[in-house]
Amino acid sequence: MAETLLFNALREAIDEEMARDPSVLVMGEDVGHYGGSYKVTKDLYEKYGELRLLDTPIAENSFTGMAVGAAMTGLRPIIEGMNMGFLLLAFNQISNNAGMLRYTSGGNFKIPMVIRGPGGVGRQLGAEHSQRLETYFQAVPGLKIVACSTPYNAKGLLKAAIRDDNPVLFFEHVLLYNLKEDLPSGEYICPLNKAEIVRPGKDVTILTYSRMRYHCLQAVKTLEKEGFDPELIDLISLKPLDFDTIGESIKKTHRVVIVEEGMKTGGIAAELIASINDRFFDELDAPVIRLSSQDIPTPYNGTLENLTIVQPPQIVEAVKKITGKQF
């Protein structure tokens, strides 16, 4: 076991997969000589050379389209978005090309590519640098969407994503890069389609992902002191959603609170509520509660920024409301 920062866990995954498979390459702005905006590809340029760590122009639509073509011809490109918000410039290439070409070609082409990078509400990065693109892409057919949340799952999920024959959107949170965790010395892979039960419980199911995992953990500490027994689930896989794990939890707790950093309108929570009502309505003892960010551009002001996203006290109050318990 070795203590590893999350950004280094991602770097280890890329390094190991590049060493294992010569078809794996990385492209994006400053991924080579500079080592990436958050140092996820630091020093890999010296090890693998400029053709496998390709510094691109500031043209997301162009190099994402190039990556789709590379994937079609047998390579396994990893796209780094310097900030995931910039990849809105490549929405066409990701949706119409990466997501659909395997289907529209009648299965003649596979698109084994990973699109990864930092996103989420940071510390005063402003509206354009605080995007949560999972809500934009969830409706696109053909994409897998994953949100890592710990150094352990970051490494295992990224290795699995690189080996997958389908396009994977791999979301990292800008405020989680410096998380530390002891990682196994041997190789391991995490499944792309499984949620993680962070804390088992029986009173209520809390569904969350990415940075909100830690806001929920803070809330859980308070709830435990007050006599509550919540079950906390990190979704990890946002497309497809792991309804086996979600369903088993709902059948036990009969109550659901969803906590997301994404916007409320059209968000992951909205899809979850619709699907839970479709699949498990008879198991619910109360309407599902969702806690989401406000539908406004993220303010630059730090105090206002915090007010737009869900905070632990709101999670505590939601659990008390849905359980009807006041200890």
- Check residue 163 and give its pLDDT: 98
Q: Is residue 188 part of a domain?
A: no
| 179 and 212 share one domain | no
- Check residue 122 and give its pLDDT: 85
Q: Is residue 190 part of a domain?
A: no
Nearest to 203 by CA among 228, 233, 232: 228
| 29 and 75 share one domain | yes
Residue found by looking up tokens 């006290």 in the block: 313
Q: Is 173 a catalytic residue?
A: no
Domain count for the chain, please give it: 2
| 210 and 177 share one domain | no
| 232/247 Cα distance (integer angstroms) | 13
| 84 and 140 share one domain | yes
For 101-145, write each residue's pLDDT tens digit. 999 999 999 999 999 999 999 888 888 889 899 999 999 999 999
CATH classification at residue 251: 3.40.50.920
| 12 and 74 share one domain | yes
For 208-227, write each residue's pLDDT tens digit. 999 999 999 999 999 999 99
Q: Is 128 a catalytic residue?
A: no
| 263/214 Cα distance (integer angstroms) | 18
Containing structural domain, residue 217:
196-323
| 147 and 214 share one domain | no
| 173 and 218 share one domain | no
| 8 and 146 share one domain | yes
Q: 12, 129, 173, 231: which is the annotated catalytic residue?
A: 129
Q: Is residue 229 part of a domain?
A: yes
| 150 and 212 share one domain | no
CATH classification at residue 40: 3.40.50.970
For 181-209, write each residue's pLDDT tens digit. 999 999 999 999 999 999 999 999 999 99
For 28-62, write each residue's pLDDT tens digit. 999 999 999 999 999 999 999 999 999 999 999 99
Burial class (CB within 10 angstroms; exposed 0-12, middle 13-18, buried 19+) of 274: exposed
Nearest to 319 by CA among 257, 260, 274, 259: 257
Residue-averaged pLDDT of the chain: 95
Of 159, 183, 207, which residue is a domain's last? 183
| 208/20 Cα distance (integer angstroms) | 33
Q: 17, 60, 172, 231: which is the annotated catalytic residue?
A: 60
